[in-house]
Amino acid sequence: MTPSNNTPNEEISSNSYTEKEKPTAAKKAISPILTNPIMTGSPIGSRTSANKLYSTGSARNHLIKQVNVGFQEVMRFVNDAFLVKNDLGQLFYSLNNIMVNKLQVSFTAIGLYNKHSNCVNIKLIDKIGSTYTTKTIMTDENNPVVKAIRTKKTVTTQDTGFLSSWYQTHASTAIIPLMAIDECMGVYIVGNYHLSATIEFCQLIANTMGLFAQTKNLLELVETNSDTDSLTGLANHRHLQEELHRQIQTAESKGETISVLITDVANITRINRDLGHARGDEVIKTVAQKIKQNIRNTDFAGRYGGDEIAIIMPNTSLDEAKYIAEYLSYVLSCVYIDDVGPIKVSMGISSYPKSSENQEKLLVLAEQAMYISKSKSEEMGNCKVITSEDYNFWDDEALKCFAEVLTKKHAQIGVQFEEELINKFHNEQIISSSHLLDVVTSLANTIDAKDTYTKGHSACVSRYSEALARAIGLPESEVERIRLGGLLHDIGKIGIPENVLRKPSMLTDEEWEIMKQHPVIGADKVLEPNESLRDLIPMVKYHHEHYDGTGYPYGLKGEEIPLSARIVAIADAYHALISDRPYRKGLGVEKACEILKLGANIQWDKELVRQFVIIAPSLSTSA
């Protein structure tokens, strides 16, 4: 019996078997902009017929008329946002809703200029609500953000590459300086397929936001008229950062080493909850006093966070810093507080320039080590001092702690976990095949952790791909390459927003187009820069191509699709079919094999399907 083309595609060609369900034409929702209320739970990614609006010289009037939104109404929403918001981040979110829902922009972003680090930290929100952060260094003269800040004039571009967003497509983009009198506070970025209808309005918003930011800065300056933290008597966070910056400059000029220790009080959340914040403050104050009494005259201590205290140790190696940390831990353990008991802390250390020459990364690595210390200390019952050299970066626990630190800090430093992970991956010096496997496995586990609906998927696809490669008699070297390719076949999902990856229901057309970019992201932006993994690119880039030419990203057909990619495609589909999903239970082996056979020569290579069906019953479904 010859199946219709719709039979296999409905079950296995759509997003329902590997990512999420691909939308059909009957389910597309096209709603007028007027029906999308500002700042409500309604979808902001509703599709609209906006492209034709921008074909005439009277685009502005046509835009207002088409969406049935008056200028006064938009201004009322904007004015309300400025009146009720006292935080720049909250204000930005509200303005983004207005711009997306009322003026049909593709995305907005805000970037604040940090004079201390000479960079611009940018946060972007697109029309489906995904957020992305990145950093622009002010020494990059060709970057339009830098040009806008230096010239204090609006810069327009069609290339959004400067945002480092892996899934944003080209769009007319305006980078507008946030002006406050004659000072540029940063930039407001608006992406729209036609800017001339809204550019003056966007500039007005940017100027008002600039004044808002300057006012907030002045208020904070008035409130922070001292370098001392009021609770601990140590340096406050700002003074600590300034001192570390000064110390690094001194160490660089003299060729010396600096160690940074971050300590965290154990169980402070429980203490605050059970005994009250006054008792928690007492513990933090006691820790600060003991640290101040027991560090060297050359060391510098400051309050790093709520219950975190950092110590800068000039001209101190990691081993020396570890000895000092262990002594401080002993001193604190001898202090007994009523209802709390002895003070327990976690301690992490990083070193300049060994751990990093970058101030922000130096602190991130010390904090990562502190989180690992917290985990180890809970296991052992006493403080385990951890340095940045004591653990393998690609260890599961280390990656988890690194993600925890960057998730907490990414809005402040403009770096996301995925971005930093890939940077580390590109700079990793692969020293052996086992080292390569460790790194690849860690990357695959990271993707599985990000996409909760496919946990363990990469390891299973790797095993099934390896089994099929052996079944058709490929050489051992090719089998090993396919095994690694199976592990990394979905690595491009590292660039896909989590609200798309984790969406339990059907994806919109717009979300589906973003999802379909993951093979190219994985091949071009993750594997291509790493010479040792370039031979895995065909499996990553082409495993969603279909044998009849209906797949993506390039519509390759038949044997135009590399053999390795055809193998991974079958393994990928099979594991998806037998796995549980939020919208269905996993299928049995027999049913899954039946579907593969129905899709032979339509979605998959017929001969490879025949071979896989033979070995499928012997494959374990456990990762």
**Tokens encoding 336:** 């007994």
More confident site: 275 or 179: 179
Rg (CA), the chain: 28
H or E element at residue 135: strand 131-137
**What is the pLDDT, as a whole number, of residue 224?**
55
pLDDT of residue 493: 87
Task: Return the percentage of the chain with pLDDT > 90, whole number.
Answer: 33
For the segment 311-339, what is each residue's pLDDT rounded down to a tens digit? 999 999 999 999 999 999 999 989 888 88
Burial of 504 (C-beta count, 10 Å sphere; 0-12/13-18/19+): exposed
Share of the chain above pLDDT 70, in %: 80
Nearest to 123 by CA among 85, 154, 165: 165
What is the chain's percent helix, strand, coil content, to nearest 5? 55, 15, 35
Q: CA 107, CA 142: separation in Å to the nearest integer?
A: 22
Q: Is 287 a residue whose pLDDT tops 90?
A: yes
> Can you give the pLDDT at residue 399?
73
Q: Is the pLDDT of residue 193 over 60?
A: no
How far apart, in whole angstroms, are the C-alpha atoms of residue 15 and residue 21?
Answer: 4
* Pairwise CA distance, residues 188 & 177, whole Å: 6
Which tokens hold the place of 49?
């017929």
* CA gap 548, 569 in Å, rounded: 14
Collapsing DSSP to helix, strand or coil, 326 comes out as helix
Report residue 223's pLDDT band, with 50, 70 and 90 as the boundaries. low
Does the structure show a pLDDT above 80 at 172? yes
User: What distance in Å separates the CA atoms of residue 542 and residue 519, rounded to the nearest whole number?
Assistant: 7
Average pLDDT on 238-262 reads: 93
pLDDT of residue 73: 82
pLDDT at 443: 77
Judged against a pLDDT cut of 90, whether residue 256 lies above it is answered with yes
Q: What's residue 59's pLDDT?
A: 45
Residue 394 has pLDDT above 80, yes or no: no
Buried b (16+ CB within 10 A) or exposed e, 134-169: bbbebeeeebbbbbbbeeeebbebeebebbbbbbbe
The single-letter DSSP state of residue 491 is: G
Is residue 253's pLDDT more than 80? yes
pLDDT at 68: 42
pLDDT at residue 70, rounded to an integer: 65
Q: What is the pLDDT of residue 171?
A: 75
Closest CA to 491 of 453, 460, 517: 517
pLDDT for the residue numbered 573 = 94
Q: Is the predicted pLDDT of residue 40 greater than 70, yes or no?
A: no
All domains of the chain in start order, with CATH: 59-223 (3.30.450.40), 237-391 (3.30.70.270), 421-618 (1.10.3210.10)
Q: What is the pLDDT of residues 584-622, one digit of tens each?
A: 788 899 999 999 999 999 999 999 999 999 999 998 654
Other C-beta atoms lying within 10 Å of the C-beta of residue 585: 9
pLDDT in tens, 118-145: 888 888 888 888 887 888 889 888 899 9
| Position 571 pLDDT exceeds 80 | yes
Average pLDDT, the chain: 80
Q: What is the dihedral of CA 226, 227, 230, 233, to 10 degrees?
A: -140
Q: Is 580 exposed, middle or buried (0-12, 13-18, 19+ CB in 10 A)?
A: exposed
pLDDT (0 to 100) of residue 26: 32
> CA 69, 74, 80: angle at the middle one, nearest 5?
145
The whole-number pLDDT of residue 379 equals: 63
Q: Are 485 and 126 in contact (CB under 8 A)?
A: no
Give the contacts of 7 (CB within 8 A, at least 6 positions apart): 598
Higher pLDDT among residues 37 and 499, named by residue: 499
**164 Cβ partners below 8 Å, 6+ apart?**
134, 419
Residue type, 488: L
User: Which pLDDT value is given to residue 22?
Assistant: 43
Strands 183-191 and 131-137: unpaired
Q: Are 39 and 4 in contact (CB under 8 A)?
A: no
Is the predicted pLDDT of residue 17 greater than 90, yes or no? no
Q: Is the peptide bond before 353 cis (omega within 30 degrees of 0)?
A: yes
When pLDDT is averaged across residues 164-183 and rounded to a whole number, the result is 80
- Which range has the top average pLDDT, 12-26, 39-53, 156-170, 384-398? 384-398
Instruction: At 547, list the tokens.
Output: 């044998």
Q: What is the pLDDT of residue 547?
A: 95
Mean pLDDT on 260-281: 85
3-state secondary structure of 235: strand
Sign (positive or negative) of CA dihedral 577, 583, 585, 590: negative
Q: Between 227 and 18, whose confidence is greater? A: 227
For 45-143, where are the alpha helices, taking DSSP H only?
A: 59-67, 71-84, 88-103
In degrees and rounded to multiples of 5, residue 354 shows phi and psi of: -60, -50
Number of residues assigned to the chain: 623
> Per-residue pLDDT for 44 more than 70?
no
| Residue 90: partners with Cβ closer than 8 Å, 6 or more residues away | none
- What local confidence, expressed as pLDDT, does residue 54 receive? 31
**pLDDT recorded at residue 411:** 53
Compute the distance between CA of residue 241 and CA of residue 377 in angstroms, rounded to an integer: 27
pLDDT of residue 453: 60
**Tens-digit pLDDT profile for residues 511-527:** 888 889 999 998 988 88
Positions of E strands within 241-315: 258-265, 300-303, 308-314
pLDDT at 24: 37
Overall average pLDDT of the 359-388 stretch: 83
Q: Which residue has the tokens 């390569």?
A: 436
Beta bridge partners of 111: 122, 187
* Section 86-102 average pLDDT: 86
Partners of 59 in the β-ladder? none
Confirm if 450 and 494 have CB atoms less than 8 A apart.
yes
- Residue of higher predicted confidence among 48 and 422: 422
Q: Which helix (H) or strand (E) holds 387?
A: strand 386-387
| Residue 486, CA distances (Å) to 232, 538, 566 in order | 53, 11, 11
Using pLDDT thresholds of 50, 70 and 90, give the confidence band for residue 485.
Answer: very high
Residue 605: what are its φ and ψ, rounded to 5°? -65, 125
Q: How confident is the model at residue 549 (pLDDT cuts 50, 70, 90)?
A: very high
Most confident among 56-60, 76-80, 357-361, 555-559 (mean pLDDT):
555-559
Q: Is the pLDDT of residue 194 over 80?
A: no
- In the chain, what is the straight-line distance between the N-terminal and C-terminal CA atoms, in Å? 35
Instruction: Decide if 177 contacts 149 (C-beta within 8 A).
Output: yes
Distance CA 490, CA 336 (A): 52
Q: Looking at residue 197, what is its pLDDT? A: 66
Mean pLDDT of 213-229: 72
Q: Which residues pair with 186 in a beta bridge?
A: 112
Confidence at residue 479, expressed as pLDDT on a 0 to 100 scale: 95
Residue 567 confidence (pLDDT)? 96
